Structure 1
């Protein structure tokens, strides 16, 4: 069918082709079918979206990835890519071969899968899991389709936390300590998947996080490190597409998690990596046994990729910092670097930094580097190199002005602080998209509480989102308060 190509902007990164219902019916094209588009001696493929209004009969609308297509084009039906068969195979809980995973990854990278098909892949992995061999092959495939950095150093440090714990923003502190000790640590981070703030979201409070590879190399040359968004430099770019599909479902299956983390580390040129695996009630990993199994799989896949991986299995039943959300976590980070801040955040940062220094063969004390002010000085250098204000102080970082404090309706003891519920509340308040939204946590497990004591404060940027969070708070109990007698029974 001969049609005239016209550009349309409907805010999508997918290669959608808008067909008028009349033309689609004549062609026999249904929603999410593929069509082959021949133009100027070239052939491309698009995913069908039918419409009565956005394009007229006789024309075909090209979304942003296909804006290069112009003039009269020949549109014919095309079959689904081979990867759709492999996704269906995984839905049937059949183990995939290396070439099948490579095909899925390549088709995701080249935008050949529709949103529905990509969601089906995520659902298949979440429901049926990935074997260790599948995880190895997937990690290699995700690494190979993107760019890869090389630093020319025998030791390049890195760290990652699998998340699931509120206020767990230790990474900027660790990078500051480790680079101040002389190691190279080009930290590339993802944005939030299921949490109210990823490291990239927190760092964006201070400075830019999106840079070209040449710019990153310049920053690292100047400061020994960086804290940037990995998706901005095409490192394992398929990971960002998969995260986009995981976000609405708030899922992060173990095999995909390992492939996501280690493909980024391999692409970033990291040689020595510490993985933080928090476990406990309300964390992503709820049992010590599951945490150990995940750690073993991280190490096995790391060995396969020639990346030296060690894992820290940490308690994840309590929030780490006081703040939850980009600005509130940024405030905690800077306060720790200034010599104050939440003690739990400082202790965990020091422990992981010491572990990474030892793993890289450096004889230095994270506590000494932090207390001497060298870590703060290095952090401000990194912020300045990334276009931020190096003289900002923790008190300058203000959360959203719309706020409410939830108070205890009884006296007793805090027997549980639920990370998942806290994260749900912070997201409902607007985090991470609203950088100043989130929570401040006032109580920890075992704290004694009187009636009327503040438990946590919700911050939002708009009254509507604060009201949404308040309605959710009425149904949840993120800080559980029990009488002293009931608390003793609960512990037993």
Structure 2
């Protein structure tokens, strides 16, 4: 069918082809079918969207990935990508071959799968899981797509947490300590998936996080480290597409999680990686047995990729730090680095423990505590913030939370018997985090604290009154910090 192509912007990165219903009927094209467009001796493929209003008969609209296409074009129906068959196999719980996983990764990278098909892929992984062999080959395929960083240093340090713990922002502190110890640590981090703040969201409160590869190399050459958004430099870009599909479902299945983490690390040129695997009620991994299994699998996949991976299995029952949300977590980070006596001790201790482990793992004889207490870590962190375009003089007291707030208080006397990370994260997200950087929670109690009637449990901060009211309504239905009598609390903690 001969049509006239015109560019249309409907706010999508998908290669959509908008056909008027009349033309679509004549072509026999249904929603989400593929069409092949021949133009100027070239051929491109797009996903069909039918419309009565956005384009006139005789015209085909093309979205941003296809904007080079214009003028007279020939439009024909195209077949479904082979990877869709492989997605169906995974939905049927059939183990995929390496070439099948590679084809899925390539088609995701080339935007050949519709949002529905991408959603089916992550649903199949969530429902039926990935074998260890599938995870190895998927990680390898994902890391082979996109750009790669390489470094002259023989040892390149890295760290990742699988997430799920409120306020667990140890990464900026670790990078400052490890870089101050002389190691190269180019940290590429993600934005939030199911949490109220990823490391990139936290750092964006203080400085820029989107840089080109050349700019990252310059920052690392100057400071030994960086804290940037990995999606901004096309490192394992398929991971970002998969995360986009996982977000609405708030899922992060183990096999895909490992492929996501380690494909990014391999693309970033990391040689020695520490993975933080928190476990406990309300965490992503709830049992010690499951945490050990996941840690073993991380190590096996790392060996397959020739990366030296070790895991720290940490308690994930309680939040780390007091703030939950980008600005509130950034405030905690600065307080620890500044040596503030009121800085959250849980965040300081976990940052030191993981830093010591990473230094030892990389064969460096240095004391993380000494580097932190001497002010060298703070100095290096300020260097990194300055190199990334931020204010190196920013202090914890400079960061104000959202002006709209309410404090939830205890309605009984007893002990805080349980703190639910998942519910705290849900509340912070309902308040607007991470998109509203100053939204989130401040946690006033941890498990086993003695609590009196009227004592503050947590404070919700939002940037708008409407978001605060939404979070309050959710808080009425949840109990993220449970207060029970001392006798009942001791029974629950056993």
- Please, what TM-score do these two structures have when normalized by structure 1? 1.00
| Equivalent residue, structure 1, for 2:432 | 430
Residue 416 of structure 2 is matched in structure 1 by 414
Map 1:75-474 onto structure 2 (within 5 A).
75-340=75-340, 341-474=343-476
Q: How far apart are the structure 2 equivalents of 1:49 and 1:437?
A: 37
- Take 2:417 and 2:61, find their aligned partners in 1: how far apart are those partners? 58
Separation (CA, whole Å) in 2 of partners of 1:29 and 1:211: 41
C-alpha distance in 2, partners of 1:19/1:398?
49
Q: How many residue pairs were aligned?
A: 492
- Residues in 2 aligned to 1:490 and 1:445: alpha-carbon distance in whole angstroms: 11
Deviations 1:216-255 (A, max 9, x none): 0000000000000001111100000000000000000000
Residue 148 (structure 1) shift: 1.1
Q: Which residue is equivalent to 1:24?
A: 24
Cα distance between partner residues in 2 of 1:31 and 1:351: 53
Which deviations, in whole Å up to 9, do the C-alpha atoms of 1:168-214 show, x marking residues without a partner? 00000000000000000000001100000000000000000000000
SS across alignment from 2:112: coil
Give the Cα–Cα distance (whole angstroms) in 2 for the partners of residues 377 and 449 of structure 1.
38
Q: What SS is found at the alignment partner of 2:30?
A: coil
What root-mean-square deviation, in Å, do the aligned CA atoms of Structure 1 and Structure 2 show?
Answer: 0.6
**1:188, 1:440 → 2: CA distance?**
27
Partners of 2:223 and 2:81 lie apart in 1 by 45
Q: Which sections of structure 2, spanning at least 5 residues, go unmatched?
A: none
What is the SS of the residue equivalent to 1:433?
coil
Q: Could you tell me how far apart the structure 2 residues matched to 1:181 and 1:489 are?
A: 45
Shift of 1:490: 2.3
Distance of 1:135 and 1:487 partners within structure 2: 41
Report deviation, 1:491: 3.2
CA distance in 2, matches of 1:442, 1:19: 56
Cα offset for 1:154? 1.0
CA distance in 1, matches of 2:410, 2:119: 41
The answer for the alignment partner of 1:9 in structure 2 is: 9
Large movers: runs of 4+ above 6 Å: none
Q: CA deviation at 1:359?
A: 0.3
Ranges in structure 1 where 5+ consecutive residues have no aligned partner:
none
Deviation, 1:488, is 2.6
CA drift of 1:412 comes to: 0.6
TM-score of the two chains, using structure 2 as the length reference: 0.99
For 1:28 and 1:423, locate their aligned partners in 2 and report how far apart those are by CA, in whole Å: 47
**What is the distance in 2 between the residues matched to 1:9 and 1:403?**
38
